[in-house]
Amino acid sequence: MKKKYIMAPGPTEVPPEVLAEAAKPVMHHRTPQFRRILTEVLDNMKYVLGTTRSVYILASSGTGAMEAAIANVVSAGDKVIVGTIGAFGDRWESMAKAYGAAVVKIAPEWGYALKVEEVKAALDANPDATALFIQLNETSTGVYNDVEAIGKLTANHKALLVVDGISGIGAQPFYMDKWGVDVTVIGSQKGLMIPPGLAYVSCSEKAWKVIEANKTPKFYFDLKRYEKSLTKEKMPDTPWTSAVSLIMQQAVALRLIKEETNEKVWERHAKLSKAVREGIKALGLELFAKENPAVVLTSIVAPQGIDTKILVKKIRDDYGISMAGGQGKMEGLIFRVGTLGYTDRFDPIMGVAAVEMALKEMGAAIEIGKGVKRVMEVLMEDYK
Amino acid sequence: MKKKYIMAPGPTEVPPEVLAEAAKPVMHHRTPQFRRILTEVLDNMKYVLGTTRSVYILASSGTGAMEAAIANVVSAGDKVIVGTIGAFGDRWESMAKAYGAAVVKIAPEWGYALKVEEVKAALDANPDATALFIQLNETSTGVYNDVEAIGKLTANHKALLVVDGISGIGAQPFYMDKWGVDVTVIGSQKGLMIPPGLAYVSCSEKAWKVIEANKTPKFYFDLKRYEKSLTKEKMPDTPWTSAVSLIMQQAVALRLIKEETNEKVWERHAKLSKAVREGIKALGLELFAKENPAVVLTSIVAPQGIDTKILVKKIRDDYGISMAGGQGKMEGLIFRVGTLGYTDRFDPIMGVAAVEMALKEMGAAIEIGKGVKRVMEVLMEDYK
């Protein structure tokens, strides 16, 4: 018997009542019965995103929602700015180029956040830029950006602010309208606590004007079709067949989030990730994030002589916990411990315990229990 | 208490053991444990499609797979032929135009199939056409096309044969390789017996040469990325986060199909749809399909004075069965009774009984029991 756990930055564990929802009989999507559920999901997503604007629900992974953003706001020949602090920021660049945009790139060293003054300089130097693409949280490095400060810059610029909130939203503070975010994208398998397969997009009025004029070839991700379907027969619908079982699950998960409240969800993620960080530091290991450490996961530099591909495999195959290794150029060099979604105070304890035991077995100079002790102390303090 | 049933042409009812699979804990997609399941699904999909070529699994609805076909084989300025016999054929046209293609359209009156000689004439008249888009089964009218005969025409033509098999595959005979189909697309919520949210694409060698040279902007649906991910670390993967719970369900559903065998699945759909047709005719109602009546659903012309929007609503809200009304220009004029997916001999009996009772209550001149009697006779004969 091996109990299985997910401590990855997505997919995350799904609450039992949300899992059970998927075992209910499938509903037909073009019925008032289903569309009432869709209405509830879209309303609660507005609450999660902090917006009064329409929310569109896509049957796709988060990358599909990123493409929806690109295909609806970018026209071939546009100049766009990409602020990338890791592998998912680089994806914005690849996508924008695939759609024929000229990309001005801001790319600090991995482990750092975007510097607001560098973003300002790029916007000032490129008054013709039509969009700025960034991440709320960069999952590959475990670093978040100061979206609020960046939103103040684009407010007075032609460029739309497009934010990949796939891993960050539902875990850390985010206020789409208040911060002036023009396009927000998010996936279902992170803070939203359901399996992968749904994604969401929401757009400001400033973005919508661009979208209405945009002629880039698209169909499935054409947001105008989604907007139109929201008001069909006075009840929300989706332009293509809704992923009904995932949407039924999302309804249940969003009720849990709303009951806890955004603020308490953010606070919980902050506490749990802090506990992991403190435990890891107490063990003498180095955090990979040099600033703005993520709340959805903690990225950790491998001790001398440890290949994190082997470490992650061992923790998964021997102990039953799925963590994440390094992505792209950090493969083998860092590992990442998630504290995202359906999580509570024993997750950091379990995660740090697994890291300690596995590193010790692999021959690293680890004093067993030292990290976990610190995790417990921090939790007792923060949960007082 | 009202028992709920789906007799729509998708989503269809999902077997209980397939529903239950979605209630299992979510797996992380980048693990050998999950990738073994993915391997099984892709292998069994080859069996269902009748192909030795790669099968790509998309987190999207069927429309997403149609767009993957278009975005990968169509270049702006291409001339393509669309053979449309209903609303989903028209979708091929809209999509091809959205991607800048010039469309030569073959469009027989609704209720009829594509005439092979007309398709031949269009191909002969347009030797520069790069693709021919058709449906295996047209869900909006309940008519299927002779894909085998059409495949013989494109075999000796430049044009790729692109087949929307979303509702037809897994219900009626289909042999991708043997019939010379170049691009096949299919969705999960029909004959494949899982909820909506997954779709599949497979491409012939002839198609792959076009796809490799194609420069149309795309990312999420870029099939080259899917092909590449199949051989990553010697085990299939998906380029973007896999919709793990749906894929776990698909594994179970495909085992059921493989156990029954393609041939028996096709035979079952043929028998059940025939029983519905015979029952409907015995009631004195008119079938909408003038030829090649679908096996996945039966389309029926409303009796004088009956609005099928009201009929379908009554059957759903009063009796608990989701059927389908007419789409597009047939809205209110026809209704459609599905016999698709997880179905057996009592489905046609229940479906025709519901139609009889609802029509009678709505004042149509129906002799109660006459249709059901005929359904039972046909079933007893065919199941002998």
Write out chain A's pLDDT in tens, 384 residues.
889 999 999 899 999 999 999 999 999 999 999 999 999 999 999 999 999 999 999 999 999 999 999 999 999 999 999 999 999 999 999 999 999 999 999 999 999 999 999 999 999 999 999 999 999 999 999 999 999 999 999 999 999 999 999 999 999 999 999 999 999 999 999 999 999 999 999 999 999 999 999 999 999 999 999 999 998 778 999 999 999 999 999 999 999 999 999 999 999 999 999 999 999 999 999 999 999 999 999 999 999 999 999 999 999 999 999 999 999 999 999 999 999 999 999 999 999 999 999 999 999 999 999 999 999 999 999 998
Residues 182-201 of A with CB under 8 A from B: 187, 189, 195-198
Tokens of B165: 């098999």
Tokens of A189: 């398998």
Q: Do A240 and B64 touch (CB under 8 A)?
A: yes
Q: Do A60 and B60 touch (CB under 8 A)?
A: yes
Q: Do A11 and B23 touch (CB under 8 A)?
A: no
In degrees and rounded to multiples of 5, residue A25 shows phi and psi of -55, 145
pLDDT of residue A286: 98
Burial class for B279, CB neighbours closer than 10 Å (0-12, 13-18, 19+): buried
Other beta carbons within 10 angstroms of residue A23's beta carbon come to: 16
Indicate the Cα dihedral angle B362, B363, B367, B369, nearest 10°: 20
Instruction: Give the residues of chain B that fall short of pLDDT 70.
Output: none
Task: Report the amino acid identity of residue A107.
Answer: A
Q: Do A99 and B24 touch (CB under 8 A)?
A: no
Report all structural domains of chain A as residue ranges with CATH numbers, in order of start.
16-259 (3.40.640.10), 261-382 (3.90.1150.10)
| DSSP states along A63-78 | HHHHHHHHHHH--TT-
The angle at the Cα of B294, spanning B361 to B174, to the nearest 5 degrees, equals 155
Report the residue of B17, B63, B241 to disrupt the A interface, i.e. the one with the largest count of A CBs within 10 Å: B241
Per the CB < 8 A criterion, the answer to whether B231 and B93 are in contact is no
Q: Name chain A contacts of B242, Cβ cutoff 8 Å.
A: 61, 196
| DSSP states along A110-129 | TT-PPPHHHHHHHHHH-TT-
Per the CB < 8 A criterion, the answer to whether B52 and B45 are in contact is no
Cα–Cα distance, A303 to A60 (Å, whole number):
37
Per the CB < 8 A criterion, the answer to whether A140 and A87 are in contact is yes
The residue to which tokens 């609303």 are assigned: B87
Q: Name chain A contacts of B67, Cβ cutoff 8 Å.
A: 219-220
Helix residue spans in chain A (DSSP H): 16-21, 32-49, 62-73, 87-98, 116-125, 147-154, 176-179, 205-213, 223-230, 244-260, 262-282, 308-317, 346-361, 370-382
Whether B50 contacts chain A with CB within 8 A: no
ipTM (interface predicted TM): 0.94
Strands B198-203, B55-59: pairing is antiparallel
pLDDT of residue A375: 98
Per the CB < 8 A criterion, the answer to whether B86 and B135 are in contact is yes
Q: Name chain A contacts of B14, Cβ cutoff 8 Å.
A: 25-26
Whether B231 contacts chain A with CB within 8 A: no
Whether B275 contacts chain A with CB within 8 A: no
Q: Do A67 and B94 touch (CB under 8 A)?
A: no
Tokens of A206: 């400033």
Cα–Cα distance, B184 to B170 (Å, whole number):
13
Strands A55-59, A198-203: pairing is antiparallel
